[in-house]
């Protein structure tokens, strides 16, 4: 890299370079420094038409040397011709220098992204400049603000009266224009910390606050806006608490409703089961009563057979004169009063089995007395008169069963 002294009169400033804002105070400090110890770093230029040179970077040093009346200045002459590469070099150089404001950065990035001469992308710039994509996007967001606000933006993070930092501005960037710039100017005037700016921005982003109210809030100063935010936040928390309490009560009411429905379902199931048992008991009692009535109405000397019929006793047997009689099951008896060989014993066995089956059926159908009594006493919703009539019928049939069973038992016992 060769450094040569070039005449100041042959060098032109680059009016289109990224950095254009030079504070008079800082420029004077640079003049004093160069006057005392000389120029420590050369500027960089590129060749232009007519044997002239255009500055790539080093405008402030060039201006300071001009103020000192220097005739020459040390320069690095670049051979670069690609406009994008030259502009990126200017941006990269200024990023390392003090005083390159966030607005200047944003304008440089915006130019690289939108000027057809460059047509770069955020990803390309991030790779070339070694900056995160979010860094570049945030700088471009600052360009949303108007000229009056942009003039106040300075580098660094120190909060000073009448100036704005990038951190102070970014919380306001998404607000509508009618609130964004006025609030920014209030924040600069009242030296509002970044955390307070964020709170005030939240206040103006709340859709539940009317536009009329927001417009009226712009008449307040920074501390007044912060007090409004505090009251708003307390009200919001109270509303949230009330909403949570209402939701809790609603959930409890829903749980109580479901529990009541569950209890009603259990009660209905219990009632249905009781009704089913009652119906089964009534059905079994009716069947037993019918069987008892049949036995009670049979002629004396006849026993129950397996089908509810009777077997003939002594008075029911056929005479010895050869008249044909019938057995209990209705099978013909052989002439002479005797059954065919082997037929009588088989019919008797069938009749015995039928009798035992009928007895077992009756015993199974009848519930235990205490169970039946408990169910009948518990039937408080039934018509008492109808219940009494039913009980009277049942008692009559059971008495018939009892008499018939006693007669049958006496006949069986006589054969022992």
| Least trusted range by pLDDT, from 34-43, 216-225, 249-258, 291-300 | 291-300
User: Tens digits of per-residue pLDDT, 147-157?
Assistant: 999 999 988 88
Q: What is the pLDDT of residue 22?
A: 67
Return the sign of the alpha-carbon dihedral for residues 116, 119, 122, 125: negative
304 has pLDDT over 60: no
322: its two tokens: 């050869």
Average pLDDT of the chain is: 81
75: its two tokens: 């320069």
124 has pLDDT over 70: yes
Residue range 80-94: average pLDDT?
Answer: 85
CB 42 within 8 A of CB 112: no
User: Tens digits of per-residue pLDDT, 8-20?
Assistant: 999 998 877 777 6
CB 74 within 8 A of CB 94: no
User: Tens digits of per-residue pLDDT, 189-235?
Assistant: 999 999 999 999 999 999 989 999 999 999 999 999 999 999 988 98
7 has pLDDT over 50: yes
| Bridge partners, 78 (sequence order) | 46
3-state helix, strand, coil in the chain (%, to 5): 60, 10, 30
- Give dist(CA 416, CA 411) in Å, integer: 9
């Amino acid at each position: 890299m060769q450094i040569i002294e070039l005449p100041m009169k042959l060098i032109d400033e680059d009016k289109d370079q990224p950095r254009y804002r030079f504070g008079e105070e800082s420029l004077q400090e640079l003049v004093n420094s160069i006057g005392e110890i000389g120029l420590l770093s050369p500027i960089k230029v590129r060749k232009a038409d007519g044997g002239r040179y255009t500055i790539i970077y080093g405008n402030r040093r060039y201006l300071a040397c001009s103020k000192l009346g220097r005739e020459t200045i040390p320069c690095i002459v670049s051979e670069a011709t690609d406009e994008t590469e030259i502009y990126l070099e200017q941006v990269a150089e200024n990023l390392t220098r003090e005083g390159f404001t966030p607005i200047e950065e944003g304008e440089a990035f915006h130019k690289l992204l939108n000027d057809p001469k460059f047509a770069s992308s955020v990803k390309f710039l991030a790779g070339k400049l070694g900056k995160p994509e979010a860094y570049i996007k945030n700088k471009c967001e600052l360009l949303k603000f108007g000229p009056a606000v942009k003039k106040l933006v300075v580098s660094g993070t120190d909060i000073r009266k009448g100036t704005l930092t990038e951190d102070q501005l970014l919380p306001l960037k998404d607000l509508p224009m009618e609130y964004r710039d006025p609030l920014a100017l209030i924040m600069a005037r009242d030296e509002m910390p970044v955390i307070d700016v964020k709170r005030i921005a939240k206040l103006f982003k709340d859709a539940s606050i009317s536009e009329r109210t927001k417009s009226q809030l712009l008449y307040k100063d920074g501390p007044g806006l912060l007090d409004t935010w505090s009251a708003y936040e307390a009200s919001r928390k109270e509303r949230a608490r009330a909403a949570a309490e209402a939701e809790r009560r609603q959930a409890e009411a829903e749980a109580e409703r479901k529990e009541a429905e569950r209890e009603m379902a259990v009660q209905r199931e219990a009632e249905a089961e009781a009704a089913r048992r009652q119906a089964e008991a009534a059905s079994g009692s009716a069947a037993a009563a019918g069987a008892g009535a049949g036995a009670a109405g049979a002629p004396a000397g006849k026993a129950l057979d397996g089908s509810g019929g009777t077997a003939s006793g002594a008075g029911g047997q056929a005479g010895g004169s050869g008249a044909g009689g019938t057995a209990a099951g209705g099978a013909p008896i052989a002439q002479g009063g005797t059954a065919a060989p082997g037929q009588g014993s088989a019919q008797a066995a069938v009749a015995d089995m039928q009798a035992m089956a009928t007895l077992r059926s009756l015993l199974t159908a009848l519930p235990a007395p205490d169970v039946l009594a408990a169910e009948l006493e518990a039937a408080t919703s039934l018509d008492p008169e109808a219940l009494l009539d039913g009980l009277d019928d049942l008692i009559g049939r059971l008495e018939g069963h009892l008499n018939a069973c006693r007669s049958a038992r006496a006949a069986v016992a006589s054969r022992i």
